């Protein structure tokens, strides 16, 4: 089961429905005006969705009345909160506490990394600020994108961050300033037995952090393109 599903299951235990009962799929559907349908609620709770859509996590947060940024806390943070709750501790204050959104400079750096590899699929040219705004479905203005890219927007809102997640198809945790520790899985260890995969890995280790991050974005873009090609085929 993915980390988001684990966190969601903890949320459902810690945060009761406003009527005092437990949250159900139908209650979530009504509370979000069908933005999160009962089937999506069940799939996320049961671990069938690895990374939920940004608009879904935002809608769930608003329905359950906690700041959307708490979705991006690590699983260990949620587990510690659950242990405190199980021990009789009060967690309402923690769940209601808003935090400062990622610094504008940090968001600018991450956004520019994405724009270094993202292209307009029709023209093959880099995405413009106006195109990013259009892809957001009206949630971002061209001026917002320009200000974030140039670091002039000092305090981006979570709504703007979540809109960027949907445009570039990245995990919301991508924008976090906290780097998580990573350990190779069995899948990774098997993967580097392939010669090409090993060469890519070896070369990536020798790159600068900024270029390594760019390689990561490029590989994720290529993977999405292959997935789309498979679906169309």
Is-contact 113 213, C-beta < 8 A? yes
Return the CATH superfamily for domain 3-96.
lambda repressor-like DNA-binding domains (1.10.260.40)
How many other CB atoms sit within 10 Å of the CB of residue 157? Answer: 12
Give me the pLDDT at residue 82, please: 92
Residue 90 near residue 59 (C-beta atoms within 8 A): no
pLDDT, one tens digit per residue, over 207-220 is 777 777 778 778 77
What is the pLDDT, as a whole number, of residue 208?
79
The pLDDT assigned to 10 comes to 94
pTM higher than 0.85: no
Nearest to 153 by CA among 218, 202, 190, 102: 102
132, 164, 216, 174: which is closest to 54 by C-alpha? 164
Residues in the chain, pLDDT under 70: 1, 97-104, 172-173, 176-193, 198, 227-233
Cβ(22)–Cβ(61) below 8 Å: no
Residues 48-75 pLDDT 10s: 887 787 788 889 999 999 888 788 787 8
Helical ranges in the chain per DSSP H: 3-14, 25-31, 38-45, 54-64, 75-86, 92-96, 104-117, 129-135, 142-149, 158-168, 186-191, 195-205, 209-232
User: Class of the 104-175 domain?
Assistant: mainly alpha
């Amino acid at each position: 089961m993915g980390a988001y599903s684990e966190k969601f299951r903890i949320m459902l235990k810690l945060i009761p429905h406003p009527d005092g009962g437990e949250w159900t799929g139908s209650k979530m559907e009504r509370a979000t005006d069908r933005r999160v349908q009962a089937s999506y609620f069940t799939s996320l709770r049961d671990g069938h969705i690895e990374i939920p859509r940004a608009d879904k996590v935002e809608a769930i947060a608003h329905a359950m009345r906690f700041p959307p940024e708490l979705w991006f806390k690590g699983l260990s943070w949620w587990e510690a909160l659950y242990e405190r709750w199980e021990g009789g501790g009060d967690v309402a204050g923690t769940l209601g506490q808003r935090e400062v959104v990622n610094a504008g400079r940090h968001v600018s750096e991450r956004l520019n990394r994405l724009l270094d590899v993202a292209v307009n699929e029709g023209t093959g040219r880099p995405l413009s600020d106006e195109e990013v705004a259009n892809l957001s479905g009206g949630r971002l203005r061209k001026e917002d994108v320009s200000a974030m890219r140039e670091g002039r927007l000092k305090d981006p809102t979570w709504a703007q961050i979540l809109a960027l997640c949907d445009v570039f198809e990245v995990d919301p945790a991508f924008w976090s300033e906290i780097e998580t520790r990573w350990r190779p899985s069995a899948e990774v260890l098997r993967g580097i037995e392939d010669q090409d995969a090993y060469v890519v890995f070896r070369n990536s280790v020798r790159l600068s952090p900024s270029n390594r991050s760019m390689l990561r974005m490029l590989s994720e873009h290529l993977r999405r393109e292959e997935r789309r090609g498979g679906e169309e085929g």
